Every structure is written in C-alpha cells, then in structure tokens.
Structure 1
C-alpha cells in the first residue's frame, strides 16, 4: 500500500499514515487524498487495527495545505481537476470526523489549510510547542475551506473570526483554546507516543504524555477581539480595530487590509452561516459551493500568482476595495450548484444515535 507521497505502516494494533512530501511541506495532492481514504477503508473492518495515526515526514510540519500551485494551473484551464480534488478532500474530512476507530493526528510544526482539514476533525488531536496552525486562504483570494469554518465558528467569542480574516498562524496553546486540538505534548515525546500507540489504547497513551497546556496568548486578548469582530461587516470591523488603541488590533487591521476584499467579505458571511449549521457535513457542502464559485474570481488566481508563483507579494485585487464588493457578489458565492452539489449528509453512528 506504500507510495512515494503517503507511507503506510502497520505496527501492532496501529495503522500509521505518513504524509511524505517534505520538500513541499507535505502539501496534499489528489493522489494523497485517495491514498489516505483507501487506507481508512481497508482498516475500518480490520480487527487487527484499533488506532489510526496521521503524521507528516520531515521536521517542518504536518501539512502546509493543498497543492495550491496545481490548483492555480487548473483554474486557468477551467478548474475541472480542482473540483474533483475538493470533492474527494471534503469527503475525506467528513470521514475522518465520523471514523469508527480513534484517529490520532500529530499537529506538530506547520499545519495550514488542508492540513487542518486532515487533522483537526480527528478524534484525538495533538499539538506541540512547535505547532503553527492557520487558515491562510484570504491571503490568496480564497475562503477557508475543509470544514475549517465549522471549527472557527465554534471557537470562543470572536477568536475564530479574527483567525479567519487575518489568516495568521496560531500556536499550540491557542489551538487548544480555540477547540482545534485536544492535547499538548512535548515534541521530544512524540516518538515514544507513536511507539505506545502500537500496543495500548490511544487515549491512554496520549494522556500519558499530555502536559498542562501553556496559557494561550490569543485568549488573553479576548476583550478587544470580541469587541472588534462582532457583526457581519468587514468594513465596520476594520473601523473598530483602528479605534481601539491596541497595538495588536492595529496589526490585525493591517493584515486584513492586505487581503482580498472579495475573499474577506465572503469569508465573514460563510463563517456566520457556519455558526447556525448543525454538522461538519453541512459546512463542507457550503465550502464546496464557495470553492467552485471562487474558481471564477479574478482574485483567486491573482492571489496564488502573487504569493506562490511570481512571489512578488503584490496582488492586484479586483474589486480593489471592500466598498466595491456588492451584496449580490457575496450572495452569488453561496448559490446552489444543482446536480454538482457535494451532497454530504450526517448519519449518526450507532453509538451517537444511542446517546
């Protein structure tokens, strides 16, 4: 079952999947999504596998997201391959959350975008002192996907709104405070933790190595964050940030102003809608609609060009200002796809239905 980009190992009662593109910070390709899904299928009814582990190769991180440059090239040709990639990726995100056996994910190092999708929906999510977690999509003219808005919309107060709009990275303690992770483990203990998973129940092993979580820097800023980000208008949020007299608020405003006005407006609308949705599957259905509509935005290709292709870091957003993004443009991003809808539905597992 091994291939170059996903290594599949069995040890004792553990099925271990290693994302293996370290030079690309383990960015996900369509083939990697399929390989992970195939292994989950094979292990679901295998009585010799009681725990699944997902980790990344190399020292830099679990996963930097999807292969955005490949999506950029495809978008310029019509986006058909990207649509198929997102469909299978989002189905995998939902499958990870509903998997009947515990999935442990090591969110060590950099975990961005699609890396959040493949890890933060798992049953047992481990961060370390090296974790740097984020949804950077607004910086490339896109909207947080992979069910990230399901998680961010349920973070305390407006912490998730701050993270989504600024597209910044948070540390492991912040991820714990925001509900993106469950356990804080020293990175030096990860090899022993992996070894223990082969022989003993997952929760007992992870609990043995879990430490007291450090204080979350972001949670300490809840007062101004909650005050600034309440509401449904990005322009109003920027005005509040500018008048708070807080250095971190000013930095947040500067970060937001650099992002795509279209992506910011749609992200805030999608985040607010996600708050009222009752399942990850419902949010992923929304993600798929927005993602496919975003393929036609000028900003998506331009943002990837500026950040990852030409790397001039100088995108020419179109429209250039928040005032030029119409309510109709935002609403169109949520338009039903008809026969192309993702169509995920939440069917409770037997244990959930009985509880």
Structure 2
C-alpha cells in the first residue's frame, strides 16, 4: 500500500487500484513494489481466486512510468534508476505468468508502463474511452515493459509500425490486432467489479468465465469509434517489412496510390519530425529481434537497452534524458537529438543497444522465469 496505490480483497477477488489520477496514474517505484507485493501475497492465498487491475479517475488506467523521476534521477547523477526498471520488469513478468486470472480494465489512457501491467492479463477489457499506444520514441525511449515481445507477436509488421511511430489507437483496433480481448462500456466497469466481488465462485476458472460472460452479455458501448488500422494492414506490411528505416521512409515518400498517399505522408513526417531518429531505428531492430525471444529474454534485453538509452554504459548518449526534458520538463518541444536525420543513424549506433549479455553474471534479471 502506498499513497498512490490501493489494494483490497472484496469477496474472493483482489483489487489493485492505481490512485494517482492527477499524474494519469503514472507508475512510481513505490507503486510498482506495492503492486508486486500484493500479487505475491495473493498468489498463494486460497481465499483470493482472481485479481482486477483498475485506475482511479476519469482519464484512464495508466499513462506509463514516472518519466519526471527518470529525468531527475539521471540529471542528479544517480544510477539507482535501474532498480526501478528491474522491479518493473519483474512485475511485468509476474503478471504474464500469474497462476490466477488477472483482469485488466484498460479504460482511458493506457500507454507505456500501463501496457506493461495489462498485456500479460488473462482478460484485457477496453472501453469506448480507451486510448492505447507505445509512444516512447517521441521522448527518446523505446517500447519497453515487454513491448518488444507483445509488439513482435502481432500479425505482419504491425509491431514495427506501432513501435516506431507510437501512434494512438482505440478499442476496436486494440481488439482487432490482438492487444485487447473485449470491449465493455465504461459505465459498466463498476457493475463488473461488483459482480465479481459478490460472486460465490467455486474456483479461479469460474471467476474468469464470469467476467467473460458479463462482457459478452453487456450492451456494446455507444459511439464507439471505428478502427483505423484494418484498412491499412496491407500497406503497413508492405512498407514496414522493408530492410531498414531509410528504406521504409523512401517507400513512404514514393507511395503512388492515392488512397494511401495521405497516410504515407503523415507517417513519414511523423517519423522524421516528431520522433528520435536513433530510437526509431533502435525500436525497429528491437521488435525484429524480439520475434526470436521469450518474454523473459526480451525483458532482460530491454533492461540492457535502458542502460544505454540513459547513457549509464557511457557509450551511447542520454537520448532519453533529452527527450523527457524537451517534451515534459521544459516543454519547449525542440529536443536536441543526437542525430538530425534517420539516415544519419549508423548500424553501429543501433548495434550498441544490443551487445550486452542477457544472462551475464551481473544482470539482475538473469534468473527471470527460472
């Protein structure tokens, strides 16, 4: 329990409520540790048959990690920031491997770290208010918290597209591409929680069945925005399946079909002017490498990558510090990225993010999943 996270047992269900609405429920280190402790306690508690994750406030479940803390810690010369990521990635893995039904109410803003504590759920529920993304390249980071893994497992080359552009999408798209399971009206979420808390469930499977049945039998949300990704699937695969980012950008610029020309121009402009050139290239490589990795290995990889993105290895430049400064701290929206263009990023620049030892003796996640 912290000031920003509440845990309680109601009936046979453990409820985790992120309670930092003024900061869009951004995850602090204390919140991560408290959540991990609650899940560990409930894991072996026979009185708890399932877990529900929810966010307090109207704006949504969770906008991500506490990036202001990242900036402050690195600017002060502290290296204990990596303890944050160690504990966060352990939590991500614990959720994905949890033996009891973990139900994520992915309402409102669900981005970055919010995706990390949701994508491993047994049931991922979105609403008409859901706004989902992995937007890290806009602030000089990459899609971590297992993002490489769950993006890599999307069909075709959607993972490369979503990971590099960081575009925001809604409930219909989330369900259609496999990042959510069902849509429920936002107004029905309290009733679902009460239904689960009040039930006399025989076992954990009955809890999950009850949640699925409740969603299936509920009326669909009114005014649900249609998806935008399905009509683009073929052109996304065509472009984002190319060899590297320069090739992708050339293809976008040369897109000859009028029905796709607007999307292609917007995507090229976004990647060139609104994202870190280095991290766009790193994220493309990350997703492609993750297709051959388990979740545990991908989280180990991401931990090493995070050391590089904050220049804690002394070799790569602190791209993340500059991005957070420009977009969140000073809000001048003019980050001084290390590379002025995507074409200026070399293969060696990218390779430095992936040359660490995932199972090295000093890696704090070396035994994850074993």
> Could you state the TM-score of these two structures normalised by the residue count of structure 1?
0.93
Equivalent residue pairs, number: 345
Distance 1:48 1:40 in 2: 13
Q: Secondary structure at the match of 2:361?
A: helix
Residue 169 of structure 1: SS of its match in structure 2?
coil
Alignment partner, residue 350 of structure 1:
none
Residue among 292, 298, 319 paired with 1:283: 298
Q: Which of 306, 319, 325 is equivalent to 1:299?
A: 319
Which sits farther off after the overlay, 292-301 or 95-104? 292-301
Q: Counterpart of 1:59 in 2: which secondary structure? A: coil
* Corresponding residue for residue 216 of structure 1: 227
Of 207-216 and 282-291, more deviation after overlay is shown by 207-216
Deviations 1:275-309 (A, max 9, x none): 111x2111111111111111112321111011100
Change (3 A) 1:74 1:136: same
The alpha-carbon distance between structure 1 residues 79 and 340, as it changes in their structure 2 partners (threshold 3 A), is farther
Offset of residue 335 of structure 1: 2.0
Deviation at residue 156 of structure 1 after TM alignment: 1.4
**Residues 1:254 and 2:272 aligned together:** no
Query: For residues 214-253 of structure 1, what are the structure 2 equivalents within 5 Å?
Result: 216-245=227-256, 246-253=261-268
| Aligned mate of 1:318, from 323, 334, 338 | 338
Matches within 5 A, 1:139-150: 139-150=138-149
Tell me, yes or no, if the aligned pair for 1:75 and 1:82 is still in contact at 8 Å: yes
Measure, in 1, the Cα distance between the counterparts of 2:362 and 2:267. Answer: 37
Aligned partner (choices 353, 361, 365) of residue 339 of structure 1: 361
Q: Tell me what 1:170 maps to.
A: 169
Partner of 1:351: none
For 1:68, the equivalent position in structure 2 comes to 67
**Counterpart-to-counterpart distance in 1, 2:329 and 2:233:** 36
In the other structure, the counterpart of 2:50 is: 51
The answer to whether the 8 A contact 1:96-1:122 is kept is yes
Unaligned ranges ≥5, structure 1: 348-355
State whether residues 2 and 30 of structure 2, in contact with CA within 8 Å, keep that contact through their aligned partners in structure 1: no
Deviates more, 1:224-233 or 1:43-52: 224-233
Superposed, 1:83-102 pairs within 5 Å as 83-102=82-101
Rounded to whole Å, the distance in 1 between the matches of 2:122 and 2:38 is 17
**1:345 positional shift:** 4.0
